[in-house]
Structure formats: structure tokens, C-alpha cells
Amino acid sequence: MACNSATCNSSGCYKEYEVEEEQRQPTTRGGINGSATTHQNLCVKCKSNEPVCCGIGGDDARFCKDCFKTNLYGKFKQAVSYNAMITPSDKVLVAFSGGPSSRVVLQFVHEMQCRAQKNFDASKDRSLPVFGVGVAFIDESSIHSFASQDAEKAIEDIRSIVSNLAPPEKELYVVPIENIFSSDNIDGKERMKKLLDAVSDVTGKEDLLIHLRMLSLQRVASQNRYTRVVLGSCTSRIACHVISATVKGQGYSLSADIQYVDSRWQVPVVLPLRDCPAQELNTLCSLDGLKIVELLNGPCSSINGLVSSFVKVLQEENPSRECTIVRTAGKLTPFHFNRIPDIHDSSVPLATRRRQKRHSIKPNGSLSSESFCPICNSPLNKSNFSSSLRSLQSNENSDIFAAAAACSSCQFQIIPKEPSLMEQFVSLLPQPLITRAKHGDRGDFSLLREQIQEFLLSDGEDEI
């Protein structure tokens, strides 16, 4: 929508319509009483329907319901097509929290699947399969202080939302977050509580919970053979992440988190709503009557909460601020895993494969990273390992989380400083984190060995 910026080149901006409206002189039509009428009360796009909603920063209604939704769906579809996020042979898992962003992305994925199903039914040879869709809700009621009946009501509402979607049928997975520890809910709840209590920093506790949520989604996806995880992260949320990550010292890994595709995980993660601001998503939910379910709306004192409030103030002062932040951060060099691997499946249309090859990130235009933070899975700079020899001399679990093996944010906000607390912290971590840390530790050692290879003695040489 219109962003009030003189330098905006966004494909979804309606600034040109505003200029046309300002330059157009009112046209007069002869009526029974000779009264003059203008086009100001019509949609600026179709020029036929009554406007019911405005673009970002607009005070007056300028777009009809159909044009507004078409524009928003167009942004989603363009992101999906250009980045080959969803192909006919895929099976995608939509992460659903119940909020406006995840509700819209679920609706758009559903509509995309319905169109694919219609094309499949109308096709004579039926050569293109219809991609599958599942929905995952991570239940965090065990770690938040709200009534159990509210959590049960929210889960029932989510089941109702998914079941009321038209065919093809979508399977819903309601997964307690403590299941990442164990199949025993009682033991899992206790370990989750102790693990979060071991992190004293409020921001670190919130970030750790985000990492555990992603691990839960990855576990559901891998166990049920999904090929994509679809998140509802929108422009507004990504803009907040850009600033908060910079404040927390995650500048090197920032570009990895804000791209359309993130394949560093076992199941690639995609962000089809990257170009859609939260205000537009909220408007669509209101216009289409899309039911949302939100349990956590209270104030937050963490860095993430403060940054969110700060960006909200900036957005009120300048409606294009969020888009500007994301567009500026988008100039950072992406990593090699910020792309879907080349498609060689013959069931995927040739046009889709060509488009994916044309728009995907080139290897020589991206950063490479062989090492990742064992906690948050952020890519690490190779220079971070210049002083890591001591941490690699032991295979004990506590050593694999030494300062040199983790990103700066996890070092200062999540990982305890004292050795005694460190041992307790590691003993409480879920097994996927321990496994990733051990694999990352071996990867770091191979990187160091490569750097000092010319100075090492061969097996047949004697030490002098």
C-alpha cells in the first residue's frame, strides 16, 4: 500500500494512484438535479466499487475489499513463486499461533491449495500433484500464567478454525512445547520450568523459548515428513527483529533471519508474508471475518518488547518506517543457505524451475558459514574461533557450550557464567540442542585444523 516515501520502489505501493487522484480534476455528470459527482468515493484501483479500507498511513478509505485482498494475496503469491517456496510435490507445515499473521498465512496457503486442487481436477492427465498442508500449534500453556480453561478454549477455537477450512483436509498437530524434552509431560514440564529458571536474563529467557519453539516445529515437521515449515513473520515483526538483533550483538547473523528462505534447518523455513505489514494483515482479518486467537497480549520488559514498542512509535510517526527498516536490512549479504536447493523434480513445471533459478541467491553472492551457535543456530563468524582451542580439547558436555562456541547474544543472555550453574544448565537442555552442539563442536575443530594444516606434523614425522 502507499508508504508516503519519495524513494519507495516497492511493487505493492499504491503511491501512483494517490498522485493520479491529486492531479485528476473532478468530472461532472449530468443528473436529474444537475449535481456534480466525483470518483473520490470509488476504489482507486477498480474505479467501480465503494472503498472500505485504506493503505498504510491513509486517513480515508481508498480500496474496496476485493482489491485490498487481491493486492495482499499478490504479495504472498509473488514471494512464494519467485523463491520456489511451495512446489506441487511439497508437503508444507504451517506454524499457527492464532494471531493475525499466522491466520492470514494459513488462509492464503489454503486458497493456494484449493486452486491447485481445482487445476488438478480439471486436468486430463493430472500430471501435477497437489501439495499437502498441515497445521502445527505449539502449546505453551505450561509456562505461562493464564488459566487452564483459557488455554483449553484457545485450543478448541484453533481446532474449529482448521476444521472449518474447505477441503483438501488439513491435519492439525497440537504439541505441548515440553514434548521437546520427553514424551512424559510431567517430566517435560518440570525440566522446562527448571531450564527457564536457570536463565536469569529476561531477554535471554524469551529468546531461549523462541529457539525451543522452532525446535518443536522442526520435530513435528521431520517426524511427519513435511518438506517446508511456513511461518507468518510479517514486515512489522521482521523490522523489530532487525533492531533487536542489532542491539543484542547479532549483526553478523542478521541477514540469515530476514530472507524469504532459511534452509539451515533440517526442514527449510519460509517467510511468504515478508512484504506484508501487520496493519494490512489486521485489516484483512477484520474485513474477511477471519477468527484469531491470542492469549499473550501483556506488556513485556525484555529487549524484544521494548524494541517492539519503539518501532510502533516510529510507525505512527512515519507509516513507511517498518518497510524502510526491512528494505535497508535486506541489502545485507545473505548466506548460502538462504535459498531453496535447485529443483530437479520433473513434476515441477519448467516455468517454476526457471523462475527459481533466476531469482535464487547465487553462491558467489552469498556468505558461507560452517559453524553455528549450539543454542540459537545462528551462523558464526570464522574469526570467532581464533581463541577456541582450549574449549575443543575436551569432549565434556559443558565444554561444548564454552564462550567461543556460541554467539555473543547467547553468551551474555542465556548461558550461565559460573561452572556449577553451567553443568546444571547443560543437564536440563533437550537432546536436540546437545546433539547439535556436539556436531557443531566437531565442525569447529575441522575448521581450525584446516586453518593450521600447514603447521601440523604428519603421522610419520617425529616431534623435535
- Most confidently modeled range among 59-68, 148-157, 244-253, 375-384: 244-253
In this predicted structure, which of 10-24, 317-331, 370-384, 387-401 has the lowest mean pLDDT?
A: 387-401
**Kind and range of the H or E run holding 139:** strand 132-139
Nearest residue to 76 (alpha-carbon basis) of 221, 234, 228: 234
User: What's the pLDDT band for 253 if we cut at 50, 70, 90?
Assistant: very high
- pLDDT, averaged across the chain: 80
Coil, helix or strand at residue 191:
helix
The pLDDT value recorded for residue 151 is 87
pLDDT tens, 437-458? 776 544 444 444 554 555 666 6
In this predicted structure, which of 62-66, 134-138, 241-245, 281-285 has the lowest mean pLDDT?
A: 62-66
Instruction: List beta partners, residue 92.
Output: 133, 228
Look at 257 and 27; give whichever has higher pLDDT: 257
User: What's the pLDDT band for 138 if we cut at 50, 70, 90?
Assistant: very high
Look at 55 and 387; give whichever has higher pLDDT: 55
Instruction: List beta partners, residue 132.
Output: 91
Please identify which residue in the block is written with the cell numbers 492531479. 23
Q: Are 422 and 416 in contact (CB under 8 A)?
A: yes
Domains and CATH numbers, the chain: 59-342 (3.40.50.620), 371-445 (no CATH)
Q: Report the chain's terminal Cα–Cα distance, integer Å.
A: 72
- Average the pLDDT over 253-262 and give the result: 95
Look at 452 and 218; give whichever has higher pLDDT: 218
Look at 463 and 417; give whichever has higher pLDDT: 417
Helix ranges restricted to H, 232-302: 235-247, 254-257, 278-288
- What percentage of the chain exceeds 70 in pLDDT? 71
Nearest residue to 397 (alpha-carbon basis) of 428, 426, 429: 426
The pLDDT value recorded for residue 391 is 41
Residues 6+ apart with CB under 8 A from 66: 46, 49
Q: How far apart are CA 356 and CA 318, in angstroms?
A: 34
pLDDT of residue 79 exceeding 90, the answer is: yes
pLDDT tens, 196-212? 999 999 999 999 999 99
pLDDT tens, 92-107? 999 999 999 999 999 9
The pLDDT value recorded for residue 24 is 45
Q: How far apart are CA 241 and CA 246, in angstroms?
A: 8
The pLDDT value recorded for residue 244 is 96
CB atoms closer than 10 angstroms to residue 163: 10
In this predicted structure, which of 52-61, 355-364, 379-388 has the lowest mean pLDDT?
A: 355-364
**Kind and range of the H or E run holding 229:** strand 228-230
Q: pTM of the predicted model, to two decimals?
A: 0.81
